[in-house]
Amino acid sequence: MKTKIREFRKEQKITQEELASMVEVTRQTINSLEQGKYNPSLELAYKVTKALRKDKIEDVFIMD
């Protein structure tokens, strides 16, 4: 799965650590999500989308 987390994170000027704290996961998990190594649960995908102030999960997470 591809994600636009890094792109939106840079846009909002927040660090991986800050985003991780917002969605209550580790910084490594955010890094893993950004690299497309880990597919998140619906709940985590929703939380990340909200934290990045986007409306739809599809805006942030893109299926290959």
Partner 1 sequence: MTSKKVVTKKSMIYRVVFIAVLMVAGLLLNRYNIGTNELFGHSTVGNYLIYIGFVMILVTSIMYFTKREKIIDERIEMLRYKAGTLTFTVFIFVAFAIIILDGIQPITMRYSLFISYAICAILVFYVAAYKILERKY
Angle between helices 27-34 and 5-12 (to 10 degrees): 120
15 is a contact residue toward partner 1 (CB under 8 A): no
Cα angle: 11, vertex 41, 43; to 5 degrees: 70
Nearest approach in angstroms of CB 10 to partner 1 is: 22
Residue choice 2, 26, 58, 62 for contact with partner 1 (CB under 8 A): 26
Min dist CB 23 to partner 1, Å, is 7
Q: Residues 6 or more apart from 51 whose CB is under 8 A from it?
A: 19, 22, 23
Instruction: Give the binding site for partner 1 (CB under 8 A).
Output: 23-26, 28-29, 32, 37-38, 40-41, 43-44, 47
